[in-house]
Structure 1
Amino acid sequence: MSVPPESVVPPPSAGPAGPTDMPAADERQWALFAHLSSLLGCIITGAWFGWGCFLGPLIIWLVKKDTMPFVNDQAKEALNFNITVAIIGFALMLLTLITFGLGVFIAIPVGIVVGVGWLVFTIIAGIRANEGVRYRYPFTLRLIK
């Protein structure tokens, strides 16, 4: 028994069916800058417990948040992650001061682990943002919504 031609559903076409979710190249580049600018901020400020890390993402977010939705999302994500790292750095410094220096035996190993994790996650986020993927950092306080 044959099927009438009008009841056969055509296969999906190989061409674009509509607008894609891929951000434009300039949006991807600005999102990459939002993530990697935290590296520059830490280099400029001397990596003082993560204090300069959030300045680059903050500036990019404030400048581009209204014109580029992908950059808005990724700069907020980078800003939240770097604020979290700065809070951890402040807590480690406070621990060292409160314990009159004895907390340094905890602060240094934890600081090294946090610093290496920060570096690795920042590089991964930059690569993923350049690919057009909305990256979410693990262990991040979402303070800026």
Structure 2
Amino acid sequence: MTHPIPNPSSGQSLTPTSEERTWAVLGHLAALVAAVISVGWLSFVGPLVIWAIYKDRSAFVRQAAAGSFNFNLAVWVAIIAGWVMFFTVILIPVAIIVWIVAVLAGIWYHVRAAMAANRGESFRYPWSIPVLH
């Protein structure tokens, strides 16, 4: 799941700077922080802001923030699907399981991605809806 960032001009991998690694870590963890602060409603805002600021400055940070944002969209879809199931009444147990899996997967993969970014490695989330690149 972790991949080095290729250098398009030489074909070799670039090592991200300390500042880039820090912002990439923040790009991954901003979703969790925003989710806690907003009770889950604004988990996409942190990665989106970091992506907007760094999209032309650093390919490493852009990829991290875009991956985090796109993964959050998939988590949101799962949570919304859980709400739809919840309102059917008969699927309430399934909705609860979907919510638990979505939240735990969100925490697990954002932490793993932040750890990879701290090592200077890119991280590819297992599920995402590719909106940002």
* TM-score tier (shorter): 0.7 to 0.9
| Whole-angstrom CA distance in 2 between matches of 1:32 and 1:122 | 9
* TM-score, reference length from structure 2: 0.85
| Whole-angstrom CA distance in 2 between matches of 1:21 and 1:122 | 23
RMSD over aligned Cα atoms: 1.4
Whose strand fraction is larger, Structure 1's or Structure 2's? 2
State the identity as a percent: 32
For 1:1-145, what aligned pairs fall within 5 Å after superposition?
Answer: 21-47=14-40, 51-97=41-87, 99=88, 101-145=89-133
3-state DSSP class of the match of 1:119?
Answer: helix
3-state DSSP class of the match of 1:23?
Answer: coil
Report the Cα offset of residue 41 of structure 1: 0.8
| Whole-angstrom CA distance in 2 between matches of 1:86 and 1:110 | 11
Report the Cα offset of residue 126 of structure 1: 0.3
Q: For each residue in 1:69-114, what CA deviation from the matched residue of structure 2 results, as whole angstroms up to 9, or x when unmatched?
A: 21111110111001111111111112222x1x33221110121122
Larger radius of gyration: 1
| Whole-angstrom CA distance in 2 between matches of 1:46 and 1:120 | 18
- Structure 2, unaligned runs of 5 or more: 1-11
* TM-score, reference length from structure 1: 0.78
| Whole-angstrom CA distance in 1 between matches of 2:66 and 2:90 | 36
3-state DSSP class of the match of 2:120?
Answer: coil
- Paired residues in the alignment total 122
| Whole-angstrom CA distance in 2 between matches of 1:59 and 1:129 | 18
Question: Which structure carries more relative contact order (alpha carbon 8 Å, separation 6+)?
Answer: 2
| Whole-angstrom CA distance in 1 between matches of 2:132 and 2:57 | 18
| Whole-angstrom CA distance in 1 between matches of 2:57 and 2:132 | 18
3-state DSSP class of the match of 2:14?
Answer: coil
3-state DSSP class of the match of 1:57?
Answer: helix
Task: Give the letter for the 1:69 counterpart.
Answer: A
3-state DSSP class of the match of 2:22?
Answer: helix
